[in-house]
């Protein structure tokens, strides 16, 4: 008979670990020497959609890990977005773009808007 070892992790700890992993992966993606292949980004401004999506995920995992209010999460993620753009400015073949930061912040706001809409809908259905 084989015994199974179960490791129990508190949900908040799980989300904090996942948030750290997401930050590391997003950072690595944004500071790669060469941007992702053009086949992934096959339409105009596709990179802005990627920025929006990645920061939506960052805001989601940050919220699940730490439960910050928008007025706390937004400046933290803004500084992170600016840091990424500064780093990209110094990487050969990459460049800084203020519109990337705008897309990043829209991703954060998108999460908080979706969360508010979900809470409102959930409250109405009770």
pLDDT at 36: 58
Which two three-digit tokens encode residue 8?
């129990």
Domain membership of residue 56 (yes or no) is yes
Domain membership of residue 104 (yes or no) is yes
Domain membership of residue 83 (yes or no) is yes
The pTM (predicted TM-score) of the whole model is 0.86
Report pLDDT digits (tens) over 61-70: 999 999 999 9
Report pLDDT digits (tens) over 77-123: 999 999 999 999 999 888 899 999 999 999 999 999 999 999 998 88
Report pLDDT digits (tens) over 34-53: 665 555 557 878 889 999 99
pLDDT at 122: 84
Total domain count for the chain?
1
Domain membership of residue 2 (yes or no) is no
């Amino acid at each position: 008979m084989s015994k199974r070892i179960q490791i129990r992790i508190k949900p908040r700890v799980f989300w904090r670990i996942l948030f750290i992993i997401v930050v590391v992966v997003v950072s690595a993606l944004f500071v790669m020497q060469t941007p992702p292949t053009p086949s992934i980004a096959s339409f105009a401004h596709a990179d802005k959609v990627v920025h929006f999506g990645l920061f939506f995920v960052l805001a989601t995992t940050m919220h699940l890990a730490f439960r910050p209010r928008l007025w706390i999460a937004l400046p933290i993620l803004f500084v992170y977005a600016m840091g990424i753009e500064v780093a990209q400015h110094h990487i050969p073949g990459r460049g800084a773009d203020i519109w990337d930061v705008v897309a990043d912040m829209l991703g954060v706001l998108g999460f908080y808007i979706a969360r508010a809409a979900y809470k409102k809908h959930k409250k109405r259905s009770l």
